[in-house]
Amino acid sequence: AGSEVYWWLNADTTGGGNTFNYTPCLFTGGTSGFPSAPIPAKKNTNYRVRVRYRTLDISGPFEVLHWSSNAPSQSSCTSPGGTVIASSAAGAGWSNSPDAANTGWTIVSGTFNSGDRDYFNPFYLSAAKASKGHVFIDYVWLEEVLAGGQFGPNLLYKPWAAQHYYVNQRNAYAFDKALAYAEQKGLTFKPVILEKNDLLWRFFEYNGQLSSTPYSQNGDLFYGNGRESTGKTKTRFLHEAWWRYLQARWGYSTSIHSWELLNEGPSDPDGLHWIMVDELGKYMKCKVFDIAVSGKDCTYDHPNAHMVSTSFYGEGYPYFLWNNKDGNYPDIDFADQHMYARDEDQGFFDEAEFTYILSTLRGAKKADGTLNTQGAPKPFIRGETAWSGSADSLFQNNATDGLWLHNSIWGGINYGGMTEQYWLDGPGKCHIYKEPNRSGCGTAGEVWDHRNEFGNFNKFIQNVPLNKGGYIDAGPSVSNSNLRVWGQIHKAGNRAHIWIQNKNHTWKKVYDGVSIANQSGTITLSGFTPNKGLKVEWWNTYTGTVTSSTNMTTNGSGQLTLTVSALKDDTAVKIGDYSTVPITSTLTPTSMKTATPTPAGKPGDANGDGKVDGQDYLIWLFNYGKSVTGPANGDFNNSGKVDGADYLIWIANYEK
């Protein structure tokens, strides 16, 4: 039915020469079941469900079931329950008929009423009542029954098993909206664009044929065949089609920070993962714009291009990849290591130290501004982190009222320059904020929200021109060892910014009720212009506001000495003139145009068979970016070029 793959329900464990796990049902929709989004319904409205399927050695019925009232409190694929809407067995209220367009496939169809629900409960496609055999599912429709024998559009987000041939338009549209909102707020996304464990990408051998053992074969097939200089594998061709779609649909947006190839791939030296992420860099920065890569490095600078990276877990830091030591990986833009704070880790009980250690170890530069040989000459992020171990449940119950987050954020002011990205689920669930109805955290109805800590730091740092370069470790001389002072200085610009902490004011000591003495001392910064008058601002780090401002003059050696008295927790200081440094402004959302199809013929029907389907999409995809004319080539608006506007015409008429 237009694809090599299908959803397989089976009462046996083997069939057709392949081996799969026992899977008697699948379900879609409903208000539960990750990652399905609930499907909206009109109340008291009739709907039709259709399923295109075929069977093999089946003994017993294949059924489509739906819970028409309350969703099941407990259910499983072996006994899904609910009302039978349609079945392969004979019965009133549904029908089975051969699919005339796809020999060997059958379409089962049934109707039901939505009742008083705003969202559909789960739909179960089940072979649980069969004693043996298999059901193969290609396509599922959920459509409103309209007057005059007509039906509404398919409401299912992912209706076709051949998910490598189409893009989920509901979620794509939702991301359109998310990007527009992010642009208004000056936020950015780092989308992870592929999943290494997605079995669909492990089905195809290099020659494009379906693997004879698709469930158990080598996962390396996901990555393609290295550089593929002598020809594309099917998987790489389809991956590049997806990459092209990403750039065509969302590459315009200033809220796309970068593309992350995948989450936590293998770190094997010079392996297929390394090659693939560099190929992604070449594609997204050169080839997608029809620019050939000269040599190994893409040097083209397109205004709509975005950075590219990948990620590794735990202690994995592939030094030779990030450093491009042998010149084979020049098109990867920043390093990304995922690491969680465990009880045995240095800095676990001192949150500022935890961020300082990795930042200064792997940061691009050393304290004096020279290249760090333990890091890479590129930006570095810890793209996934949280406190685990003994701190997990404590922070899920708001221990220390977010002090751990406060100190972690301000500790990031160190010269290493690493950016932290906290995971808000799993080990990080409820650590930063909790809604009243969030289960498993705090007490019922209890709420907290520490996201303002990020805003307070941003108010302080937003006009510090770190992106212009020239900053090095502030390297202060501190008279009291119980005062921690981190920050950076720009000597030529006579600017500096530092965070001053009572070193004992950590989340662990506060939680344990340790008596923490106030600390006093002097802090001397060197490297300013001698006898230079400088503005000095003292900041309250818990409110993001200036508490005092004064003018001070450096001594004849270019030193400036600050005095701290009875510091209970922490404070921050900004030194120098920032009046000429602009604060990053809020971005204006990009307007999006809607394609208008031409009236001639059936819009979106490239092969002229009278229906708009996956075959027409493949024609569009094959000709994408080419200067060809006419619907037969995928140029549905006759503009002379096959582009995104033609895709919008195809998707608007799909299955019509």
Which residue's structure tokens are 């510091």? 567
| Residue 336 placed within a domain | no
User: Which helix or strand (DSSP H or E) is residue 558 part of?
Assistant: none
Q: What pLDDT score does 32 carry?
A: 44
Looking from the CA of 616 toward its CB, the CA atoms found within 13 Å total: 29
Please give the Cα distance from 386 to 353 (Å, whole number): 14
Q: What pLDDT score does 16 carry?
A: 52
Which pair of tokens denotes residue 115? 């009742």
Domain count, the chain: 3
User: Which helix or strand (DSSP H or E) is residue 66 part of?
Assistant: strand 63-66
Which pair of tokens denotes residue 383? 């793209």
In sequence order, which residues have a C-beta less than 8 Å from that of residue 591 and are 6 or more positions away?
Answer: none
- Of the three residues 546, 575, 604, the one that is the final residue of a domain is 575
Please give the Cα distance from 652 to 169 (Å, whole number): 10
Predicted confidence (pLDDT) per residue in 545-569, tens digit: 999 999 999 999 999 999 999 999 9
**516 & 603 share domain:** no
Predicted confidence (pLDDT) per residue in 166-181, tens digit: 998 988 999 999 999 9
Q: What pLDDT score does 610 carry?
A: 84
**23 & 154 share domain:** yes
**640 & 551 share domain:** no
- More confident call, 200 vs 494: 494
What confidence category does residue 22 fall into, taking pLDDT thresholds of 50, 70 and 90?
low
Instruction: Name the least confident of 268-272, 342-346, 443-447, 596-600.
Output: 596-600
Pairing of strands 335-338, 380-385: parallel
| Residue 541 placed within a domain | yes
Mean pLDDT of 200-220: 83
- Of the three residues 549, 575, 601, the one that is the final residue of a domain is 575
CB 606 within 8 A of CB 633: yes
CB 514 within 8 A of CB 521: no
**47 & 155 share domain:** yes
Predicted confidence (pLDDT) per residue in 505-515, tens digit: 999 999 999 99
**618 & 654 share domain:** yes
CA 537 to chain centre: 38
Q: What pLDDT score does 495 carry?
A: 98
Mean pLDDT of 216-226: 87
Instruction: Name the least confident of 61-75, 255-269, 270-284, 629-643.
Output: 61-75
Q: Is the pLDDT confidence value at 265 over 50?
A: yes
Looking from the CA of 104 toward its CB, the CA atoms found within 13 Å total: 8
- Of the three residues 132, 162, 192, the one that is the final residue of a domain is 162
CATH number of the domain residue 526 falls in:
2.60.40
Nearest to 428 by CA among 387, 400, 457, 487: 387
Q: What pLDDT score does 68 carry?
A: 62
| Residue 532 placed within a domain | yes
Domain that holds residue 117: 7-162
Predicted confidence (pLDDT) per residue in 178-203, tens digit: 999 999 999 999 999 999 999 889 88
CB 118 within 8 A of CB 84: no
CATH number of the domain residue 622 falls in:
1.10.1330.10
CA triplet 551, 555, 556: central angle to 5 degrees?
A: 140
| Residue 213 placed within a domain | no
CATH number of the domain residue 133 falls in:
2.60.120
Which residue's structure tokens are 């922490």? 570
Q: b/e per residue, 47-74, with b = 16+ CB within 10 A?
A: bbbbbbbbbeebeebbbbbbbeeebbee
**76 & 151 share domain:** yes
CA triplet 303, 181, 249: central angle to 5 degrees?
A: 45
Q: Is the pLDDT confidence value at 602 over 90?
A: no
**469 & 507 share domain:** yes
Which pair of tokens denotes residue 55? 């069977």
Mean pLDDT of 355-371: 94
| Residue 641 placed within a domain | yes
- Kindly report the average pLDDT of the chain as a whole number: 89
**609 & 554 share domain:** no
3-state secondary structure 445-487: CCCEECCHHHHHHHHHHCCCCHHHCCCEECCCEECCCCEEEEE
What confidence category does residue 216 fall into, taking pLDDT thresholds of 50, 70 and 90?
low
Q: What are the DSSP calls for 327-381, one per residue?
A: SS-TT---EEEE--B-TTSTTTT-HHHHHHHHHHHHSSB-TTSSB-TTS-SS-EE
Task: Quote the pTM value.
Answer: 0.83
| Residue 376 placed within a domain | no
Predicted confidence (pLDDT) per residue in 3-14, tens digit: 788 998 987 655
- More confident call, 546 vs 16: 546
Mean pLDDT of 248-256: 96
DSSP state of 223: G
Instruction: Name the least confident of 344-348, 442-446, 470-474, 632-636.
Output: 442-446
Please give the Cα distance from 508 to 347 (Å, whole number): 11
Q: What pLDDT score does 583 carry?
A: 67
Peptide bond into 159 cis (omega under 30): no
- CA distances in angstroms from 593 to 178, 243, 629, listed in the order given: 17, 21, 21
Please give the Cα distance from 487 to 482 (Å, whole number): 16
**614 & 549 share domain:** no
Q: What pLDDT score does 138 carry?
A: 95
Q: Is the pLDDT confidence value at 305 over 80?
A: yes
**483 & 564 share domain:** yes
How much of the chain is in helix, strand and coil states, percent to nearest 5? 20, 25, 55
Pairing of strands 380-385, 419-422: parallel
Please give the Cα distance from 261 to 223 (Å, whole number): 11
CA triplet 151, 155, 156: central angle to 5 degrees?
A: 130
Predicted confidence (pLDDT) per residue in 126-144, tens digit: 998 888 889 999 999 999 9
| Residue 388 placed within a domain | no
**633 & 569 share domain:** no
CA 306 to chain centre: 15
| Residue 2 placed within a domain | no
**570 & 600 share domain:** no
What confidence category does residue 380 fall into, taking pLDDT thresholds of 50, 70 and 90?
very high
Predicted confidence (pLDDT) per residue in 77-121, tens digit: 777 778 899 999 998 889 999 999 999 999 999 999 998 888 888
Mean pLDDT of 430-459: 92
Q: Is the pLDDT confidence value at 31 over 60?
A: no
Please give the Cα distance from 192 to 309 (Å, whole number): 10
Sign of the four-CA dihedral 169, 175, 176, 178: positive
Instruction: Name the least confident of 62-71, 257-266, 472-481.
Output: 62-71
Q: What pLDDT score does 440 carry?
A: 85
- CA distances in angstroms from 497 to 15, 137, 420, 471, listed in the order given: 67, 61, 19, 10
User: Which helix or strand (DSSP H or E) is residue 173 part of?
Assistant: helix 169-185
